[in-house]
Amino acid sequence: MRAATATGHFAPPLSQHETAPHYFALAGFIAIALLAALPVRWLDVLSTYSTLTLPEWAPPAWLFGPVWAVLYVLMGVAAWGIWQSRGWCSALGLWLGQLALNAAWPLLFFGLHTPDWAFAEIVLLWFSIAASIVAFAWIQPWSGLLLMPYLIWVTFAAVLNFVIWQMNS
């Protein structure tokens, strides 16, 4: 079946050769999103987490890796959707900015052991994710929706960060 273009005309379906770059781009966007996890690889996150006084509702340490893996894939697919629709644009600039903030949080919390600064930073991260969702939804609604679990998880993480900060002061 042929897909309608933005002008209402029908374009011929892409050949297998023509779709390959799109899948490479998808893999590239997922890889870029996964780069935000690199700081965690350099830090002793599990040991630090286990030494903290935690609220009883805090998730077990093993849960964070799988959750973040799924979120990074969703982030990459969402950005790829924007790139498919508009190419490089300001919405992807917001996305890159929130990825940088995402990567900085574990450095503050686990690396420098400054949960107060990490909390301030995660609030900035939350607003940058919200801005990315709005920008993405304007261009490609499903891309904005794919970022919603990320915002929900970061909301939870911000509350957890705050409570840990207060409990360990």
Which tens digit of pLDDT belongs to each residue from 95-136?
999 999 999 999 999 999 999 999 999 999 999 999 999 999
118, 105 in Cβ contact below 8 A?
A: yes
Tens-place pLDDT, residues 89-99: 999 999 999 99
Q: What does pLDDT average to over the chain?
A: 91
pLDDT at 137: 98
- How far is it, in rounded angstroms, from Cα 23 to Cα 20? 5
Domains of the chain in start order, with CATH, are 19-167 (1.20.1260.100)
Helix, strand, coil shares of the chain, percent, nearest 5, are 80, 0, 20
Instruction: For the full predicted model, state whether its pTM sits above 0.75.
Output: yes
pLDDT at 1: 45
Q: Does residue 46 have a pLDDT over 90? A: no
Q: What is the mean pLDDT of residues 133-152?
A: 98
168, 115 in Cβ contact below 8 A?
A: yes
Phi, psi for 114 (deg, rounded to 5): -120, 80
Q: Does residue 144 have a pLDDT over 60? A: yes
- How far is it, in rounded angstroms, from Cα 146 to Cα 66? 17
Coil, strand, or helix at residue 4?
strand
